[in-house]
Amino acid sequence: MSADLAKKNRFARFVKRLKRSKPDYFLISAFIGLTLLAVFMLLPLVFIVNHAFKPINELFMYPPRFLAEHPTLFNFRQLFLNAQKMSIPFSRYFFNSVFTTGVTVAAAVLISAMAAYAFSKHKFPGSSVFFGLIIISLMFAPEAVVIPRFILISELGIMNTYFSHIWPLVAMPVGVFLMRQFIDQIPNALIEAAKIDGAKEWKIFYRIVLPVCMPAVATVAILAFQMSWSQTETSNYYVQVESLKTLPYYVATLTGGLANGVVGQGIAAAASLMIFLPNLIIFLLFQRQVLMTMAHSGIK
């Protein structure tokens, strides 16, 4: 009798363990699947890093090798020298990009936060109409209306100035939207208390609202950076003066007709890497804040 019971018990325990280990199987397969996928997703990025550091003879090598065997800075040196031979040095494109992106990010963050604060905490006539317009504009990509934008920019007289790299990008509906969702989380009591203490609107904005919504500020800054740093639209359409064009434009000239020149590949890879890396570094620094902001990104 007792032996039978013990057997039953053991069986029950076995079943229990099986049941308990079931989710683990799922987790393990999820982990393996995701790891494989992650490696696959990262392959092109690993590839571009390697390609950028390959010496010429490895670029030509047959059969082609994925990894660089003798990494060199040759391509990067070529990138700088190559541009020096032309009328516009590489450093000029680089400066243009750094400057316009810097101003764009600062301006986009500031005006998005200001508008978002008013939309979130003030009640004024027209606010729902304006905000509705912003929501609708989330659904439109400005890329689809390049022509009217082009006409407008030439009418405004900011063609061939740094403004044409900055101003069109500063209007960032996603920025206002994300900021507002975040500012909505700030309790009204906090703002009321500041008002009672005699703080003016501007002071409330930069002493209370901005510090509290730093994660959203970081997120919008990153989005603005990504948008501005790697876009070629403004250089292609709104700027004809070579010395005012930006780095991504220069990279695009390197990659045009690329298939014909193997030497160009290494240089183009080096240039593309220089565009990609800042994006990656900035995201790495603020990953937590971005996810925190995105939790409030829902549209109701």
Partner 1 sequence: MVSMILKTAEDLQQPKTAGPLSRKPKWVSSLWKHRASYLFIAPFMISFIIFIVVPVLAAVILSFFSFDAVSRPRFNGWNNFLAILSQDRIFLQNAIPNTFKFAIIVGPGGYALSFFLAWLIHQLPKKIRDYFTLAIYAPSLAGGVAMVVVWVVLFSGDSVGYLNNLLLSFGIIDTPQLWLKDPRLFMNIMIVISLWSSMGVGFLAMLAGLQTINEEMLEAGSIDGISNRLQEIIYIIIPAIKPQMLFGAIMAVVGTLKAGMIGSILAQSTGQKITPQYSGHLIINHIDDFAFIRYEIGYAAALSVILLAIMYGASRFSIQLFGTKGDE
How many residues at the interface with partner 1, by CB under 8 A? 96
Distance CA 198, CA 101 (A): 37
Other CB atoms within a 10 A radius of the CB of residue 98 amount to 14
Candidates 8-16, 68-76, 86-94, 135-143; binding stretch for partner 1 (CB under 8 A):
135-143
Q: Which amino acid is at 274?
A: M
Whole-Å CA distances, 167 to 156, 157, 164, 220: 11, 12, 6, 16
Tokens in use for 38?
Answer: 């992650």
Q: Which of residues 23-52 bind partner 1 (CB under 8 A)?
A: 26-27, 30-31, 33-34, 37-39, 41-42, 44-45, 47-48, 51
* Contacting partner 1 within 263-282 (CB under 8 A): 265, 268-269, 272, 275-276, 279-280
Each residue 105-134 as x (binds partner 1 by CB under 8 A) or -, in order, gives -----xxx-xx-xxx--xxxxxxx-x--xx
- 298 makes contact with partner 1 (CB under 8 A): yes
User: Among residues 7 and 122, whose Cβ is nearest to partner 1?
Assistant: 122
- Position 54, amino acid: K
Q: How far is the CB of 240 from partner 1 (least distance, A)?
A: 13
Span 155-214, contacts to partner 1 by CB under 8 A: 156, 167-168, 170-171, 173-174, 176, 201, 205
Least distance to partner 1, CB of residue 192, Å: 15
Alpha-carbon dihedral 234, 283, 268, 40, rounded to 10 degrees: -130
Q: Least distance (Å) from partner 1 to the CB of residue 8?
A: 25
Q: What does the alpha-carbon distance between residue 73 and residue 55 come to, in Å, rounded to a whole number?
A: 8
Q: Give 204-213 contacts, CB < 8 A, sequence gap 24+.
A: 205/113, 205/114, 205/117, 209/113, 209/117, 209/121, 209/183, 210/113, 212/186, 213/113, 213/179, 213/182, 213/183, 213/186
3-state SS class at 237: helix
Identify the residue among 5, 24, 62, 211 touching partner 1 (CB under 8 A).
Answer: 62
Question: Footprint of partner 1 on residues 208-247 (CB under 8 A)?
Answer: 223, 226, 230
Least Å distance, CB 199 to partner 1, is: 12
- Residue nearer to partner 1 on the CB measure, 84 or 297: 297
Considering the complex, state which of residue 211 and residue 257 has its C-beta at the smaller distance from partner 1: 257
For residues 8 and 16, give the distance between their C-alpha atoms in angstroms, rounded to a whole number.
Answer: 12
Q: Could you tell me the sign of the dihedral formed by the alpha carbons of 121, 127, 132, 133, in that order?
A: negative
- When the beta carbons of 1 and 147 are compared against partner 1, the nearer one is 147
Question: What value, to the nearest 5°, has the Cα angle with vertex 266 and ends 265 and 271?
Answer: 95
State the nearest-atom distance from the C-beta of 187 to partner 1, in Å.
18
In whole angstroms, the minimum distance from the beta carbon of 86 to partner 1 comes to 19
**Shortest distance in whole angstroms from residue 258 CB to partner 1:** 5
> Closest CB to partner 1 among 78 and 255?
255
Per CB under 8 A, which of residues 136..155 are in contact with partner 1?
Answer: 136-149, 151-152
The least distance separating partner 1 from the CB of residue 4, rounded to whole angstroms, comes to: 32
Q: Would you say 11 or 261 has its CB closer to partner 1? A: 261
Please choose, from the candidates 293, 252, 246, 281, the residue with its C-alpha nearest in 3D space to the C-alpha of residue 90. Answer: 246
